[in-house]
Amino acid sequence: IIPQAVCSRHALEIGAMFVGLVKILRFILYPVAKPIAICLDVFLGQEMGQIYTREELKGLVDVHNRNKYGVLTSDEASILKGTLDLEYKNVAQIMTKAENVFMLDVDGNLGRDTLKSILHYGHSRVPLYHGKRSNVVGLLLTKQLILIDPDDEIPIRAIFNKKKRANKIKVAPSVCVSADCKIHELLNEF
C-alpha cells in the first residue's frame, strides 16, 4: 500500500526515473511476453476500452463537478450534460414562444428608449417584424448598435435600404425551422 500511495501522487517523476530499467526488462522479457500477448489476443480478442452510456457519462460529469479540486465548474457541467441530451431534444422543447420574444417593429426607430429596451433584454439578436409579429423580416445584430447615436432616432426601416444604410448596420436574414427539427440538425445548419 505504501508504494502505491507514494507512486500515485508522484507517478510522473517516479516513472521517468525507471524508464531505462523498463526498457531493459522489455527487451529481456520480449521472447516470453510476445507469445503470451498473441495468445491472449486470439482467445480474448482486442480490448475495446471502456464505453459509457449517456447516463453514465452524465454521472461522470457530476462526479467531476462535485470534486473538491474544481475539475469542472457547475456551468461547464451543465453545458456538458445539456450537450448529451441534444440528440433527443427538438426545437419546440427549447424555443421561446413568439409572443414572449422581444421584437422590434420596422416602423419604429432606434431612439434612446428603444436602445434601453434592447440593453435591458440583453439579446445578441433582436427579431424585426413588419405589420404582424409573425412576419419576421430579419434579425438586428445588437453589437452593431454601438455605432448609433440615440439622439438621431434612426428609423429601423432605414437599415434595410442598402444605399442609405444607417451607419453600416446590417440585418441578418431570419431563419425558419420546423418545431420538430432536432437540435443537433439545427446546429449543423449554422
pLDDT of amino acid 163: 57
> What is the structure's pLDDT at 113?
93
Kindly report, residue by residue over 50-66, the tens digit of the pLDDT.
Answer: 888 999 999 989 888 88
114 φ, ψ (degrees, to nearest 5) = -65, -45
| List of domains in the chain | 2-44 (no CATH), 54-84 (no CATH), 92-182 (3.10.580.10)
Mean pLDDT calculated for residue range 22-48: 89
Instruction: Check the CA dihedral 95-99-105-110 and report its sign.
Output: negative
- Among candidates 173, 190, 184, 189, which has minimal Cα distance to 91? 184
Q: Which residue has the higher pLDDT, 11 or 19?
A: 19
Model pLDDT for residues 118-151, shown as the tens digit of each residue:
999 999 999 999 989 989 999 998 888 888 888 8
Rounded to the nearest integer, the mean pLDDT of the chain is 85
Residue 96 has pLDDT above 90, yes or no: no
